[in-house]
Chains A and B, each alone.
Chain A
């Protein structure tokens, strides 16, 4: 089965840049999406089609996807960005959506 692997945690100081990676076999050949989930809340999509931001998502969120790694970058991280982040892709060979293992971002 297809798997997407993320680091369990990332720590960043306020105002600095946080990078969250998502690794999967030939992930660059698929589209990646990213979701933010705060405690007790439903997930919110922050990136789709590798690089696009939905309406209302701040410009400090950006994405890239190449080779076997997709990356979510949060520039000028704010305390409100502290959350769990999940990548997601569709594996056409198995006809399954796959979520990444999740990354907890701490803003210290």
Chain B
């Protein structure tokens, strides 16, 4: 079964760091275009970051310089390292798979269940 399972969320103080993990099963992250998407409480979806073969990465302006996306191919797991967290980073964080380059319009066909990050003092 194709599945994504996120872990690592929690309560963190402003300015702190946190790392999210997304374990994939039923497919390999190395052969796909892996994304993080977040949703603040009561708000819409916000794309956060993308990584694909060769280590290519992209980031939303709101997280650039603070968040780092990476993969461990041996563990078939996607990560999001988050630093200098702000109140506005509070959200449910989803990992999601795309199977082709973004320009091809395939979209995100598999989503995890999400993990909640709360930034608060």
Contact = CB atoms under 8 A, between A and B. Distances in A.
Interface residues of A, number: 29
A44 B44 CA distance: 14
Interface stretch (B10-18, B24-32, B73-81, B98-106): B98-106
B53 interface: no
A42 B60 contact: no
A90 B102 contact: yes
A49 B60 contact: no
A32 interface: yes
A89 B114 CA distance: 21
Interface residues of B, number: 24
Interface stretch (A13-21, A74-82, A97-105): A97-105
Interface string B45-80: 111001000000010110000000000000000000
B9 interface: no
DSSP class of B's interface residues: helix, strand, loop or mixed?
mixed
Contacts, number: 71
Interface in A45-102: 45, 48-50, 54, 84, 86, 88-90, 92, 95-102
A92 B103 contact: yes
Contact of A45 (B60, B104, B108): B108
A50 B94 contact: no
30 contacts: A1-B61, A31-B104, A32-B105, A33-B106, A37-B45, A42-B112, A43-B37, A43-B45, A43-B94, A44-B111, A45-B108, A48-B105, A48-B107, A48-B109, A49-B104, A49-B105, A50-B105, A86-B44, A86-B45, A88-B47, A88-B108, A92-B103, A96-B47, A96-B58, A97-B35, A97-B47, A99-B44, A100-B44, A102-B44, A102-B45
Interface of A: 1, 30-33, 35, 37, 42-45, 48-50, 54, 84, 86, 88-90, 92, 95-102
Interface of B: 35, 37, 44-47, 50, 58, 60-61, 94, 96, 102-109, 111-114
